[in-house]
A and B are shown apart, each in its own frame.
Chain A
Amino acid sequence: MTATQVVRSEWTKIRSVASTVWTLSLAVVVTIALGMLISALSRNEFDSLSAQDRAAFDPTFISFAGMSLGQLAMIVFGVLVVSNEYSTGMIRASLAAVPQRGTFLFSKLAVATALALVVSMATSFATFFLGQAMLGEHKASIGDDGVLRAVIGGGLYMTLIALFSMGVAAMLRSPMLSLGILMPFFFLISNILGNVDATKKVGRFLPDQAGSKIMQVVQPPDDDTPYGPWGGLGIMALWVAAALVGGYVLLKRRDAQ
């Protein structure tokens, strides 16, 4: 049993279900469309901003505003890739064919992550250029300091979100349960924790709060975040690693149900 066989099989699986196309294209469309919309609005609002706000104006980060919604589609993609096996019962056939469960899980994750990476990178660059086009004279250039890092980081961020969802789904197995936890967490809870003063210090270590730091180019003046862009992405990567280890350990030990 070589990993390449499993990878080929997983590629067949992932390309032969409609949910792959739907979730990924939704992620692309939502991220780009919302990013463009918010960029256009920000351009019109710019003149009414205070001097302090103008100093903190971050055209790169604004063009990524659509990711807060687009990542939800990425979460659905990540959850479905893994939990489809359980909800259909296919997992029994798969594990009967690949008794080495680690090989099975990580080959599956590798295929899905590679696909997510390609789509996320394309989305990230597209949303940056289209968003900047909307921003008009306030736009940032890809050659500016830190901008390329932010754009590549945006692609990595979306990929890591998908991978984190896969790890969680591998632990929870049920698609409904996984989505029911991940969606409100990333859409509401994390934002609330990150914006309320009392919980801000904890909230900014959550995966999405820490990870999205990489898309910032202009530091807000009152920013006291204890980590930099890559540090934030590193914190996010630790979360992802924890979810994957959890998923692997549980898959290894649990009965295949």
Chain B
Amino acid sequence: MIEAVGLTKRYGDKTAVYNLSFQVRPGAVTGFLGPNGSGKSTTMRMILGLDNPSAGQVTIGGYPYRKLPNAPRQVGALLDAKAVHGGRSARNHLLSLAQLSGIPARRVDEVLGVVGLHDVARRRSKGFSLGMGQRLGIAAALLGDPQVLLFDEPVNGLDPEGILWVRNLMKSLAAEGRTVFVSSHLMSEMALTADHLIVIGRGQLLADMSVTDFISANSADFARVRTPDSEPQQREKLSAAITEAGGHVLPEQDGALRVTGLPLPRISDIAHDSDVRLWELSPHQASLEEAYMRMTQGAVDYRSTIDQKAGLQQPLPPGMQPPMPVPGQGQPGWYAPPPPQQGGQPFPAPAPQGAPVQAPAGPYGAPGAPGAAPGAPAPNPYAQSAPQAPQGPAPAAPSAAAPPSAPAADLTKPEDAR
């Protein structure tokens, strides 16, 4: 059990973590999410007693880490897989860590086998790939057979087999009643691995709930409704009828409708009553990624922008249309429709979902051309201090395919120079 109370860390005038309180319970995998620079690594280092909190405290089993009796046998951590002397062999690296905690050398060979590094155990870790380094780091965390495990980005650089292995490892460790605390940027991975989520942004707690609760609280599940393409008036008719019945309709780029606020059978009934044929009526559940993006969009420190390529592009010949932006780029609040409880206002312009770029958009689906502000993004109830995402051509909401660019001065990352 890890317990943080009012945890705060300041570096000079930059506050990396502010007033963070949470509990990580045994017997479950707890995911630790947040944008780059949100304070995840700083929090992990404070848990391990490497950094002293500016205020508040964090305890493991009731003790601050530095007072924990026989700490390395109780807590294992993977903080930075590259934190290895490159000239030392994998086995010697683990052996020196094992000897620190009085763990017999036999155990070193055991964990080397567990992580699959037996064959390279006596090779210098300098030549290790990212994935091998990650396995070495995991081996170090497992050395003491600890009850509490912390992993910072454990699947970075692992191959699919390795990712599956880590996922099953986390789950089995949790199933044995251990406390497992994992940070990751890979939402799909978290959705599969974690039972519980702690989300922070700008060093503050955004959410502390189970994965299923998190998804349903931060995203609107919706129904996709498609009427026959040949009869646009049917779509108008159905939109009006659904709105009248209390649902919310959001046109999609390819002509389908996104309906929230009404159960599927009710939509079918309304269509039947208004004498509209349906080609599609499908439920759509938002992914963890969408829910996460929605929650943290106000708390992203390092946001990628559209590449303007100023001065690098030939002027367009007269009569040529500028290329359409890819949906999602440059439009904050694109990921999912606003949650139902905030749905009173008219919907912001389109929320195209994975539709291919098509030249002329339909009457509903004018894609957010640069400069066209897509309405007010849904306010994030948690991030009061977050400035409104700037509108216009520059900002692009981060997507899974294009994560925010590397932080310029990430204060949560250890740097000797600092």
When A5-B101, A96-B50, A97-B71 are in contact, do A90 and B83 touch as well, CB less than 8 Å? yes
CB distance from A37 to the nearest CB of B (A): 32
User: Once bound together, how far apart are the Cα atoms of A100 and B69, in whole Å?
Assistant: 11
CB-CB under 8 A from B96, the residues of chain A are: 9-10, 12-13, 16
CB-CB under 8 A from B14, the residues of chain A are: none
Q: Once the chains bind, are A257 and B418 in contact (CB under 8 Å)? A: yes
CB distance from B79 to the nearest CB of A (A): 5
CB distance from B337 to the nearest CB of A (A): 43
Q: Closest chain B residue to A100 by CB distance?
A: B66
User: Once bound together, how far apart are the Cα atoms of A255 and B17, in whole Å?
Assistant: 15
Q: Is the C-beta of B264 less than 8 angstroms from some C-beta in chain A?
A: no
When A9-B96, A88-B83 are in contact, do A99 and B52 touch as well, CB less than 8 Å? no
When A16-B89, A17-B88, A99-B49 are in contact, do A93 and B414 touch as well, CB less than 8 Å? no
CB distance from B80 to the nearest CB of A (A): 5
Q: Which of A213-241 contact B (CB under 8 A)?
A: none
Q: Is the C-beta of B359 less than 8 angstroms from some C-beta in chain A?
A: no
Give 16 A-B pairs besides A13-B85, A99-B49 with Cβ atoms closer than 8 angstroms. Answer: A6-B99, A6-B100, A9-B97, A16-B93, A86-B416, A87-B416, A88-B85, A89-B80, A92-B50, A92-B83, A93-B77, A93-B140, A95-B49, A96-B79, A97-B100, A257-B415
Chain A residues proximal to chain B, CB less than 8 Å: 1-2, 5-6, 8-10, 12-13, 16-19, 84, 86-100, 173-174, 253, 255-257
Q: Once the chains bind, are A89 and B45 in contact (CB under 8 Å)? A: no
Q: Once the chains bind, are A174 and B88 in contact (CB under 8 Å)? A: no
User: Once bound together, how far apart are the Cα atoms of A21 and B45, in whole Å?
Assistant: 33
Q: Is the C-beta of B390 less than 8 angstroms from some C-beta in chain A?
A: no
Q: Once the chains bind, are A174 and B83 in contact (CB under 8 Å)? A: no
User: Once bound together, how far apart are the Cα atoms of A253 and B52, in whole Å?
Assistant: 8
Q: Once the chains bind, are B85 and A17 in contact (CB under 8 Å)? A: yes
When A87-B416, A255-B50 are in contact, do A92 and B45 touch as well, CB less than 8 Å? yes
CB-CB under 8 A from A87, the residues of chain B are: 416
Q: Is the C-beta of B102 less than 8 angstroms from some C-beta in chain A?
A: yes
B50-70: CB near A (< 8 Å → 1, else 0) gives 111000000000000111101
User: Once bound together, how far apart are the Cα atoms of A22 and B77, in whole Å?
Assistant: 32
User: Once bound together, how far apart are the Cα atoms of A193 and B82, in whole Å?
Assistant: 43
Question: Can you give 27 A-B contacts (C-beta < 8 A)?
Answer: A1-B70, A1-B101, A2-B102, A5-B100, A5-B101, A6-B100, A9-B97, A9-B99, A12-B92, A12-B95, A16-B87, A16-B96, A18-B87, A88-B84, A88-B85, A89-B80, A89-B82, A91-B83, A92-B83, A92-B414, A94-B97, A95-B49, A96-B50, A96-B79, A97-B72, A98-B100, A99-B67
Q: Once the chains bind, are A90 and B85 in contact (CB under 8 Å)? A: yes
Q: Once the chains bind, are A5 and B83 in contact (CB under 8 Å)? A: no
Q: How many residues of B contact A (CB 8 A)?
A: 41
CB-CB under 8 A from A5, the residues of chain B are: 99-102
CB-CB under 8 A from B99, the residues of chain A are: 5-6, 8-9, 12
Chain B residues proximal to chain A, CB less than 8 Å: 45, 48-52, 65-68, 70-72, 75, 77, 79-80, 82-89, 92-93, 95-102, 140, 414-418
User: Once bound together, how far apart are the Cα atoms of A58 and B288, in whole Å?
Assistant: 80
CB-CB under 8 A from B79, the residues of chain A are: 92-93, 96
Q: Once the chains bind, are B88 and A16 in contact (CB under 8 Å)? A: yes
When A5-B100, A12-B95, A19-B87 are in contact, do A173 and B416 touch as well, CB less than 8 Å? yes
Q: Once the chains bind, are B95 and A95 in contact (CB under 8 Å)? A: no
Q: Once the chains bind, are A255 and B87 in contact (CB under 8 Å)? A: no
CB-CB under 8 A from A8, the residues of chain B are: 99
CB-CB under 8 A from A256, the residues of chain B are: 45, 50-51
Q: Once the chains bind, are B66 and A99 in contact (CB under 8 Å)? A: yes
User: Once bound together, how far apart are the Cα atoms of A65 and B231, in whole Å?
Assistant: 100
When A97-B72, A174-B416 are in contact, do A255 and B100 touch as well, CB less than 8 Å? no
Q: Closest chain A residue to B70 by CB distance?
A: A1
CB-CB under 8 A from B415, the residues of chain A are: 257
CB distance from A86 to the nearest CB of B (A): 6
CB-CB under 8 A from A88, the residues of chain B are: 82-86
CB-CB under 8 A from A1, the residues of chain B are: 70-71, 101
User: Once bound together, how far apart are the Cα atoms of A10 and B87, in whole Å?
Assistant: 15
Q: Closest chain B residue to A2 by CB distance?
A: B102
CB-CB under 8 A from B70, the residues of chain A are: 1
Q: Once the chains bind, are A96 and B48 in contact (CB under 8 Å)? A: yes
Q: Once the chains bind, are B416 and A95 in contact (CB under 8 Å)? A: no
CB distance from A154 to the nearest CB of B (A): 30
CB-CB under 8 A from B87, the residues of chain A are: 16-19
CB-CB under 8 A from A9, the residues of chain B are: 95-100
Q: Closest chain B residue to A96 by CB distance?
A: B48
